[in-house]
Amino acid sequence: MVVVQGDPSKEGEFTLRAILPANYKIPPHWHPATENVTVLKGTLFLGTGEKFDESKATKIKDGGFASIPGMHHHFAFTKDECIIQVHAMGPFAINYINPADDPRKQ
């Protein structure tokens, strides 16, 4: 992940890019502010809800865009490598529905 513009830890706009490897999973979580995601390369699967359920995910291909409202519970995964760009308002936070899913605590 690389920050392209701004500082996600501070108030104000920011943009970041991330390379997600094949078979990467982001467990159900939410953010305090709207998260805007653009798929630059590959395919991202994005679903909503408090449970990780691949069958309920939407496929977002190259050039696709999703806007996830603040406080909205969602999850994501890849099947192949995927490059995404995220822009939002900071300070940015990731709050996992199940605290045990938080990789910062593992």
Q: Does 40 fall in a domain? A: yes
The reported pTM is 0.94
The structural domain count of the chain equals: 1
The amino acid that residue 51 corresponds to is K
Positive or negative, the Cα torsion across 18, 20, 21, 25?
positive
Confidence of residue 93 (pLDDT cuts 50, 70, 90): very high
C-beta of residue 29 within 8 angstroms of C-beta of residue 97 = yes
Q: Does 68 fall in a domain? A: yes
Question: Rounded to 5 degrees, what are φ and ψ at 61?
Answer: -95, 180
Q: pLDDT tens across 52-81, in order?
A: 999 999 999 999 999 999 999 999 999 999
Range of the domain at 79: 2-97
Q: Does 72 fall in a domain? A: yes
Confidence of residue 106 (pLDDT cuts 50, 70, 90): confident
Q: What percent of the chain has pLDDT over 70?
A: 100
